[in-house]
Amino acid sequence: MSGATWVPPSGKPPLSARLLRALWRGLPARRYEAGREPDLGVPAADGSPLRTDHYFPRAEGDFPTLLVRSPYGRGVPWSPMYGVLFAEQGFHVVLQSCRGTGGSGGEFHLWRNEAADGRATVDWLRDQPWFNGALGTLGPSYLGYVQWALALDPPPELRAMVVQVGLHDPHALFHRGGALQLENALLVGSGMTSQHRGLGTFVRATLRLRRHLKRMTRALPLRGSYVRGLGGDVPWLDGAMSHPDAGDPFWKGASTGGAADGLRTPTRLISGWQDALVDQTVEQYGRLRRSGCGTSLLIGPWTHTSALQEGWPEVFAESLAWLRAHLCDDPSGLRPAPVRVHIGGQGEWRDLDDWPPPTATGQWHLAPDGRLARRPPEVSGSPASSRDALASFRYDPADPTPSIGGPLLSGTAGRRDNGELEARPDVLTFTSEPLDEPVDVLGPVAARLRISTDTGYADVFARLCDVDEEGRSINVCDGLMRLPTGPEHPLEVTVPMSSTAHRFAPGHRVRLQISGGAHPRFARNTGSGEPTLDATTLTPVRITVHGTSALELPRARVER
């Protein structure tokens, strides 16, 4: 922290940021006019210049600093959302392009440089005359990853973090349950290679990806099929898609999740129930709580993108209150409960002391004729056994079961009517009777299944749905698991289906949906046993669900 006198420059925020700022409603009143000092060159760990814009309140006074590091450029939407809005509330905002993006020197890599470059930026901050020694970080998605990277060895000035729909484990972004999360991988590749070059370039890249998506995701082999849709080779994307095993040396050092173990920096976590990274947010909340770190959790009815769109007034208010409390000694805006979640189906917010709250895991048993029952079914007067076949279907990778909604990074994410999907012959449904009373589900959901196949190569996709009085089936949460290769006898597998907070209303029915995939969200299992990216043969598989299979729901006390 320098003792030199700083005279604020006369620069204004860019016109695009000011125009977008004027469109927002429902935000706190501004306290100051915002100014900007553009295109500063901050030396990275190896001396490469990191292009940086400095936003500030146009007023005399001592203001804390927020560090926002992004691989997506420094223009819209980051300049108004973080630069302008937070400068108006009394913060210096350092908005920086990560190495190899937005004009910064060096070469971008998905994880290898962020910790060192973050520390180098803090070293630079210490020499700035306007830096008062109080530092916070905030931002969404990969902007959350760089926060966790800095927190691996937190500088003494770091007093608060706000991680919004944030990432800490790149492997889990690309792979889940042994399968490649193909559509998200392509969206990440497109965004990382185009958004930092400007809004026009990003829009064109998004349209190009959409135009080529079907061809790319159905190509045999899959390796390299993205090149035309993304406009060229992306080496780090090749590497991420090619290494499905989290223990592979390729992923060494990728996860920054361990930063939460023993962290003492107060951290607010924000996500949405249909966010592709909600599981990572919940994981970090648990780590912070176990380490005794001051933390707070907000999960709304949002997707990865809608949290920063229709959810922005709530997200901004929560973020601002946390930063003021820990950087400005003003806790007046904090809510008393550490956890606030939106209850799907009910459409209301609920404050909780912890997540998950105390619950009892209830089992809903899969029964013949597509029934979902509270009691285990009987077959011919005897309890069902694991060898009793309940239902089967044929999964054909040449006509893969499509993905509908769910936790994607794109605008197609979220809750959708699953009626057309469930009418397919390769989708099983097990449905309860109409409920006599509300059922609240708060916590992690899972399907414990007995499964057999005729080839030994298959995936199982499980989805919890809420069926209303008119028969509309709306997805709540889901998951996919690649079955271990084995003989035909039933295998017991547990398919984690993420956490949720949802109320099934009286008259509604609980439904478990089972299929052999969700394409192109997940790369299809070709049924041949070949590696996902190199497979050239498509082999259909028959999948059978057996008795003693169950849906596990964390049942919470109903508040009347």
Domain locations along the chain: 1-133, 181-250, 360-528+535-556
**Dist. CA 431–CA 429, nearest whole Å:** 6
CB atoms within 10 A of CB 216: 21
| pLDDT of 560 | 43
Task: Identify the three-state secondary structure at position 135.
Answer: strand
Q: Identify the bridge partners of residue 478 per DSSP, sorted by sequence position.
A: 463
| pLDDT of 162 | 98
The DSSP annotation for 28-54 comes to PPPSS-EEEEEEEEEE-TTS-EEEEEE
| pLDDT of 488 | 64
Q: Identify the bridge partners of residue 164 per DSSP, sorted by sequence position.
A: 140, 270
Contact, 441 vs 387, CB < 8 A? no
| CA-atom Rg of the chain in angstroms | 25
Q: Name the CATH architecture for the domain at 360-528+535-556.
A: Sandwich (2.60)
Contact, 94 vs 163, CB < 8 A? no
Q: Tell the burial category of 480 from Cβ atoms under 10 Å away from its Cβ (0-12, 13-18, 19+).
A: buried
Q: What is the pTM of this model?
A: 0.94
Distances in Å between the alpha carbon of 472 and those of 370, 418, 468, 509, 510? 17, 7, 6, 10, 12
pLDDT digit string (tens) for the chain, length 560 residues: 554 577 788 888 888 878 878 888 888 999 999 999 999 999 998 999 999 999 999 999 999 999 999 999 999 899 999 999 999 999 999 999 999 999 999 999 988 999 999 999 999 999 999 999 999 999 999 999 999 999 999 999 999 999 999 999 999 999 999 999 999 999 999 999 999 998 889 889 999 999 999 999 999 999 999 998 998 999 999 999 999 999 999 999 999 999 999 999 999 999 999 999 999 999 999 999 999 999 999 999 999 999 999 999 999 999 999 999 999 999 999 999 999 999 999 899 999 999 999 988 889 999 999 999 998 887 555 555 656 899 999 999 999 999 999 999 988 999 999 999 999 999 999 999 999 999 999 999 999 999 999 998 999 999 999 999 999 999 999 999 999 876 567 899 999 999 999 999 999 999 999 999 999 999 999 999 999 999 999 999 999 999 999 999 998 754 44
| pLDDT of 558 | 47
CATH class of segment(s) 1-133: alpha beta
Pairing assessment for the beta strands 65-70 and 135-141 based on DSSP bridges = parallel
Nearest Cα neighbor of 265 from 292, 228, 286, 245 is: 292
Pairing assessment for the beta strands 295-303 and 339-343 based on DSSP bridges = parallel
Contact, 523 vs 433, CB < 8 A? no
| pLDDT of 384 | 55
**Dist. CA 52–CA 68, nearest whole Å:** 10
Element (H, E) at 341: strand 339-343
Tokens of 513: 């949906």
